[in-house]
Homo-oligomer: A and B are copies of this chain.
Amino acid sequence: MAGSIFGDIFSVVTWGESHGKGLGVVVDGCPAGLPLAEEDIQRYLDRRKPGETRYSTPRKEGDKVEILSGVFEGRTTGTPISMMVLNTSQRSRDYSEIASYYRPGHADYAFDQKYGFRDYRGGGRSSGRETIGRVAGGAVASKILAELGIKINAYVRSIGDIEVDSGKIKLENIEKSPLRMPDLEASERAEEFLEDQMKNHDSAGGVIECVITGVPAGIGDPVFGKLDAALAQAVMSIGAVKGVEIGSGFVAAKKRGSENNDEFCINEDGMVDKKTNFAGGILGGISDGSPIVLRAAFKPTPSIFAEQGTVNQSGEEIRVQIKGRHDPVIVPRAVVVVEAMAALTLVDRMFVGMTSRMDQIARFYDKK
């Protein structure tokens, strides 16, 4: 499948460049009858907007979404939902110089090698603005999941070396922290760390953790269609992500089997449960009913004000200072993008999962 399409049954196709006319997404495969309004989408888009704290670029992006199709009298019709955000505040002059050289850590060189040329304005298709389509599509997926009792919460687990204390995570603190860290004390320390980076014209990365609750056991398919494999693709496809892990993740590689195995038990509701959740809610690629836990590592923002060496399109080594409006850290704004990708993945796999058992299919078609 071409590169901007995601999902087998619940599919999204995103489009748009940083400095083109706009960006958008078409959601194909959304079931009919879901209540949906532009506000449902806007709430998600607002969470990725820049300019709200001093740790994100002072660009003002209105990013108002418009639903163009697929909704009639307040409900989805089952046909494609096209959503669009017009670009309003893009200033092309900021980017005129960078057309001639390859910014370190950016996709400029790779795009030129692949396509022969590139839309150099603001990163074009490789800009962070590309995620607008993901987030709008993810907002629809999240609404579906909410109807099924499933909640997705992502937050910043660490920025640079500063990590939240697992014991102090309170979800209600996420939006109280300018960095979306649910441990406010860690958040303050991270703010100080970021101030240092900004003074040094430098940038920072971090880790986002995402917890999904309410997923029924049995979602995901053995072998290539594993739920964790699908989540890994989804999250790794976000720009700047360099690592993904599920449950105990890389730490599991250092543990002994007796430490890492989650023993099954009968919980207070009389249901099968696990005493621990090192598996992160997925066993053999299939959800086991425990919360799904994943983490994504984001590299530091490659756009920095400090001088760097690079090469220009004439093949000369040069020194450059990248001007423009940079985020010293993009991790807090990426929280909603991780949620969106998790939602898109989960809805798609749950839809496929409705065909796992003959008895359920027979019941479905009798009832219809």
C-beta contact mask, A348-368 vs B, less than 8 Å → 1, else 0?
Answer: 001111111111111111011
Given contacts A148-B362, A245-B243, contact A254 B205 (CB under 8 A): yes
Residue on B with the closest CB to A359?
Answer: B33
Chain B residues with Cβ below 8 Å from A219 are 114
Given contacts A223-B3, A262-B104, A280-B242, contact A115 B298 (CB under 8 A): no
C-beta contact mask, A129-150 vs B, less than 8 Å → 1, else 0?
Answer: 0100000000000001001100
Partner of A246, one of B116, B243, B252: B243
Residue on B with the closest CB to A104?
Answer: B261
Is A229 in contact with B222, judged by CB distance below 8 angstroms? no
The smallest C-beta distance from A115 to any residue of chain B, in angstroms, reads 4
A109 vs B261: C-alpha distance when bound (angstroms): 13
Is A368 in contact with B218, judged by CB distance below 8 angstroms? yes
Is A110 in contact with B284, judged by CB distance below 8 angstroms? yes
Given contacts A24-B68, A26-B15, A115-B356, contact A261 B351 (CB under 8 A): no
Partner of A353, one of B7, B23, B114, B301: B114
* Interface: A288 (CB within 8 A): yes
Contacting residues of chain A (138-193) with chain B, CB-CB under 8 angstroms: 144, 147-148, 158, 160-161
Chain B residues with Cβ below 8 Å from A3 are 28-29, 220-226
Is B265 in contact with A311, judged by CB distance below 8 angstroms? yes
* Interface: A113 (CB within 8 A): yes
Contacting residues of chain A (68-84) with chain B, CB-CB under 8 angstroms: 68-70, 72, 75-82, 84
Partner of A237, one of B76, B205, B229, B254: B229
* Interface: A263 (CB within 8 A): yes
Is B197 in contact with A256, judged by CB distance below 8 angstroms? yes
The smallest C-beta distance from A106 to any residue of chain B, in angstroms, reads 7
Given contacts A126-B222, A160-B254, contact A114 B69 (CB under 8 A): no
Chain B residues with Cβ below 8 Å from A279 are 105
Is B217 in contact with A288, judged by CB distance below 8 angstroms? no
Is B24 in contact with A5, judged by CB distance below 8 angstroms? no
Is B13 in contact with A26, judged by CB distance below 8 angstroms? yes
The smallest C-beta distance from A228 to any residue of chain B, in angstroms, reads 5
Given contacts A263-B309, A284-B111, contact A361 B354 (CB under 8 A): yes
Is B299 in contact with A252, judged by CB distance below 8 angstroms? yes
C-beta contact mask, A1-24 vs B, less than 8 Å → 1, else 0?
Answer: 111111111110111110011111
